[in-house]
Amino acid sequence: MAKKIKKIEVPRCSDCEAFNVSMFCSTNSAEEASLSDNKVHNIYKKGQVIFYEGHQPQNLFCIYSGKVKIFKLGDDGKEQIVRFAKKSDLIGYRALLSGENYFASASAIEETIVCSFPKNIIEELLDHNSKFSMQTIKLLSKDLRIAEQMILNMAQKHVRERIAEALLMLKEYYGTDSITGTINTTLTREEIANIAGTSTETCIRILSEFNRDRVIKLIGKRIKIASIPKLLHIANITE
Amino acid sequence: MTMKDDNNISCSKCVHKKTSIFKNCPSNDLDTFFSEKKQITFSRNKIIIKQGEVFNGIVCIKEGIAKVFQTKKNKEDFIFWFAKPGDLLGVDSFINKDVYSYSVMAVESTKICLISKNDIDTIVKKKPEISIEMIKLLCERIDYIEKRMVSIAQKGIKEQLAEVLLLLSHKSGNQTNSLTISYSIKDLANIIGTTKNYIYKLLSEFSQNKIVSIENRTLKINDVKKLSKISLGN
């Protein structure tokens, strides 16, 4: 039986609507052409892994469409989500840039199209385009601060606060549906637990408490934030 | 009291040059570029960098140990990591020239070199290959924080303490596996996010089981294997 393969097309980088907000906006036309000529794209179904922690990176990935979670596995194999990525975000850059193996794994949380660029093209960019390297430093500095905030919350905040914060983060990052007002991503309860660093059971219990107290509204798998002030209060965010 | 040292040692003669982000810079260049470099000694518990202050330069630890931490209103300090000789601080604030996101405090007498904002700008412009080293450094820091994040999220306090002790002994880089507890019990509590009492209780348990021994503010790891096992939850 022949498998049905969905044919997808992606534009050249310069024609991509994400180009100007992506890390590649500082490239000149020759560099952009080299990126476009050498890229390949892949489609990942929900749950499919884009790269694995511990593997050697060969490519830099840029998300053309869809959503991705970046996670690490603990000693007993439990997942901890460290970051999310969406359209125009680069993923897998840290390992590639520092010449190490992947620090974390990435998988699609919905159907995702990813463009991948060979390592040598990116290295050339870094060597010759100082704007690109400065932007990379900027991106990493931001990543470091996000990681610092996450670890601080993990160490000092209670699980209720952390789940409230995770929901606010998801809303901020992925936005809300213009019609239903729900957060534009469907994560499992387990995944939300894995952001906040708690068990699935605790996460389910706290989400239904939030639902009962009309802080959020659970609509099937989707979540609508009913009262942002209340959720901010629970998350203990004052600034 | 902090004091300025007069015997400024040039970067080209510094033992940390070969492992720093400046390792590929010709020595003469460094000494010319870093014309404004200051060498300062901080005594124990003095603040080297203050969280929220505007970026003033990159700090290079020459001797001593310093804790890198964040303070939040009504909360205990949280320690991200301990900086040792050769470590650079403030690299993440350099690009935006914004404020330092953390404080740095000397845990023992610590000698640092402060490389000014202007000097850093000059060297990055003239030696763009520095940026690759900065990128690697930032990647390493993020990796470390994310690893700790997984531990904090998933491990018990006992496992974490074992892990932190191994990490610190590894950081101090000596073969005997002893590490000085000029890291106070409080510091150990604040790197894990728990109470002093709990750390105290666990340390006495470790010492009863002869995994560590504590003498004269020095903690010695006697049984690395056992401690690794505990850190993995076995």
CB nearest A74 (choices: B91, B96, B154): B154
Q: Which residue on chain A is closest to B137 by alpha carbon? A: A98
Q: What is the rounded distance in angstroms from the CA atom of residue B212 to the CA atom of residue B35?
A: 46
Q: What is the pLDDT of residue B182?
A: 60
Q: What is the pLDDT of residue B217?
A: 72
In chain A, ranges of CATH 2.60.120.10 domains: 13-154
Q: What is the rounded distance in angstroms from the CA atom of residue A80 to the CA atom of residue B218?
A: 34
**What value does the mean pLDDT take over residues A50-59?**
96
Task: Tally Cβ neighbours within 10 Å of residue B136.
Answer: 17
The answer to whether the beta carbons of residues B49 and B87 sit under 8 Å apart is no
Q: What is the rounded distance in angstroms from the CA atom of residue A130 to the CA atom of residue A28?
A: 12
Contacts of B193 in chain A (CB under 8 A): 154-156
Please report the DSSP string for chain B in residue order. Answer: --EE-SSPPPGGG-TTGGGSTTTTS-HHHHHHHTTT-EEEEE-TT-EEE-TTSBP-EEEEEEES-EEEEE--TTS--EEEEEE-TT-EE-HHHHTTT-B-SSEEEESS-EEEEEEEHHHHHHHHHH-THHHHHHHHHHHHHHHHHHHHHHHHHHS-HHHHHHHHHHHHHHHTT-TT-EEETTS-HHHHHHHHT--HHHHHHHHHHHHHTTSEEEETTEEEES-HHHHHHHHTT-
- Kind of pairing, strands B57-63 and B88-89? antiparallel
B145 touches chain A (CB under 8 A): yes
Cβ contact A75–B143 (<8 Å): no
pLDDT band at A9 (very low <50, low <70, confident <90, very high): confident
A99 touches chain B (CB under 8 A): yes
B161 touches chain A (CB under 8 A): no
Give me the residue label for tokens 């000149």: A28
Q: What is the pLDDT of residue B210?
A: 92
- CATH topology for A13-154 is Jelly Rolls (2.60.120)
**What value does the mean pLDDT take over residues A86-99?**
92
In chain B, ranges of CATH 1.10.10.10 domains: 155-231
Q: List pLDDT tens digits, range A122-170.
A: 999 998 998 999 999 999 999 999 999 999 999 999 999 999 999 999 9
Q: What is the rounded distance in angstroms from the CA atom of residue A174 to the CA atom of residue A180?
A: 14
B147 touches chain A (CB under 8 A): yes
ipTM score of complex: 0.88
B95 touches chain A (CB under 8 A): yes
Q: What is the pLDDT of residue B4?
A: 53
Q: Which residue on chain A is closest to B229 by alpha carbon? A: A75
Q: What is the pLDDT of residue A239?
A: 46
Instruction: Please give the structure tokens belonging to residue A125.
Output: 């960019």
Q: List pLDDT tens digits, range A10-22.
A: 999 999 988 988 8
Instruction: Please give the structure tokens belonging to residue B180.
Output: 């000085």
Q: What is the pLDDT of residue B1?
A: 41
Cβ contact B145–A148 (<8 Å): yes
In chain B, ranges of CATH 2.60.120.10 domains: 3-130
Report the predicted TM-score, pTM, of the whole model to 2 decimal places. 0.88
Query: Between A36 and B183, where is the model more confident?
Result: A36
Q: What is the pLDDT of residue B224?
A: 86
In chain A, ranges of CATH 1.10.10.10 domains: 157-235
- pLDDT less than 70: residues of chain B: 1-8, 170-182
The answer to whether the beta carbons of residues B111 and B62 sit under 8 Å apart is yes
- CATH topology for B3-130 is Jelly Rolls (2.60.120)
Average per-residue pLDDT for chain A = 92
Contacts of B94 in chain A (CB under 8 A): 137, 141
Query: Between A9 and A55, where is the model more confident?
Result: A55
Cβ contact A137–B128 (<8 Å): no
Q: What is the rounded distance in angstroms from the CA atom of residue B232 to the CA atom of residue A74?
A: 10
Contacts of B78 in chain A (CB under 8 A): 151-152, 155-156
Give me the residue label for tokens 């596995």: A73
Nearest to A206 by CA among A234, A238, A185: A234
Instruction: Please give the structure tokens belonging to residue A131.
Output: 């704007």
Q: In the 8-state DSSP scheme, what is residue A170?
A: H
Q: Which of A78, A98, A130 to mutate to test the interface with B (most CBs of B within 10 A)?
A: A98
Domain B155-231 has CATH 1.10.150.110: no
Cβ contact A138–B95 (<8 Å): yes
- CATH for A157-235 is 1.10.10.10
CA distance A92 to chain B (A): 11
Q: What is the rounded distance in angstroms from the CA atom of residue A234 to the CA atom of residue A215?
A: 9
CB nearest B142 (choices: A75, A127, A144): A144
Mark B151-176 as b/e (b = at least 16 C-beta within 10 Å): bbbbbebbbbbbbbbbbbbeebeeee
Q: What is the pLDDT of residue B171?
A: 60
Asked whether the predicted pLDDT for residue A111 surpasses 50, the reply is yes
Q: List pLDDT tens digits, range A141-151.
A: 999 999 999 99
